[in-house]
Amino acid sequence: MQYADLLIETHGRVAVIRLNRPKAMNALNDNMMNELGAALQQFDADANIGCIVLAGSEKAFAAGADIAAMANYTYADTYPGNYIGRNWEHILNIRKPVIGAVAGFCLGGGCELAMMCDFLIAADSARFGQPEIKVGVTPGAGGTQRLPRTIGKAKAMDLLLTARMIDAAEAERTGLVSRVVPADKLMEEALAAATVVASMSVTVAMAIKDSVNRAFETTLTEGVRYERRYFHAAFGTPAQKEGMSAFLAKRPANFDGL
């Protein structure tokens, strides 16, 4: 499939999707979000892919929703047409792991999209922020919800109300990103991490992803019960047989296709 606003590559069992609107700092418009949904669904359904990397350019993961496209919107364009809701959240239904690789500006809707990834690896050049207040709107893709859950209320309020940006080091300290790497190594490191994930059982990786996400939607007791069901079910999978027999035989496990 051909995409106008994305660049797509595969490396073994890893798919890389790059947001690609260089003239607009990868500002997220309808076409790009439609394409992103389609590309993610394509790879989620592809048995040869075990992990997806979502990246932008060296300058910007994404500088937010496309302000030029929405500047003249009225309420009638947003609410009945379900702006954002109609095509930004396909990523939440992707069952395979999605690693965000962030360099440069990651702002507004860009930061919100990044927070919908399973974990983030940041270049030391990355800058994160929710500057929507500066353009007279609230965040619209989960910024007021995922940011406090990720970095805590104080930092989230600070970013959301002052519109200040944080650098990669502060993003790592606050738990927004899992690792920071030199900018020129970002894609190499993200691919290496994704290759490790893709070498595991995709069934088990999906179950872990689903269980972790459940933690944000339910109580601790219910969440642990949910996890326990997956743990018990794992004993009905070839992955458990292969993983444990490989350990006992002191050989590497081969989870290919499991």
Distance in Å, CB of 47 to ligand CAA, minimum: 33
Rounded CA gap, 18 and 5, in Å?
9
Distance in Å, CB of 176 to ligand CAA, minimum: 16
Closest CB to ligand CAA among residues 122, 191? 122
Q: How many residues bind ligand CAA (CB under 6 A)?
A: 24
Distance in Å, CB of 70 to ligand CAA, minimum: 8
Please give the structure tokens belonging to residue 121: 């690896």
Examine the residue annotation and report whether 112 is marked as an active-site residue of this protein.
yes
Exposed (0-12), middle (13-18) or buried (19+): which is 232, by Cβ within 10 Å? exposed
With CA atoms as reference, report the closest residue to 40 among 1, 81, 85, 83: 1
The DSSP call for residue 135 is G
68 binds ligand CAA (CB under 6 A): yes
With CA atoms as reference, report the closest residue to 167 among 113, 118, 110, 129: 129
Distance in Å, CB of 116 to ligand CAA, minimum: 12
Site string for ligand CAA, 105-134 (x = CB under 6 A): x-xxx--x------------------xx-x
Closest CB to ligand CAA among residues 44, 112? 112
Q: To which H or E segment does residue 207 belong?
A: helix 202-215
Distance in Å, CB of 239 to ligand CAA, minimum: 38
Examine the residue annotation and report whether 227 is marked as an active-site residue of this protein.
no
Q: Contacting ligand CAA (CB under 6 A), which of 3, 8, 38, 67?
A: 67
Site string for ligand CAA, 1-30 (x = CB under 6 A): -----------------------xx-x---
Amino acid at 141: A
Active-site residue, from 24, 39, 60, 65: 65
Active-site residue, from 37, 39, 132, 243: 132
E-strand ranges in the chain read 6-11, 14-19, 51-55, 60-62, 98-102, 105-107, 119-123, 127-129, 166-167, 179-181
Site string for ligand CAA, 81-100 (x = CB under 6 A): ---x----------------
226 touches 218 (CB < 8 A): yes
Please give the structure tokens belonging to residue 207: 């179950």
Please give the structure tokens belonging to residue 96: 């395979």
> Would you tell me which residues interact with ligand CAA (CB under 6 A)?
24-25, 27, 63-68, 84, 105, 107-109, 112, 131-132, 134-135, 137, 139-141, 143
For the annotated catalytic residues, the residue numbers are: 65, 109, 112, 132
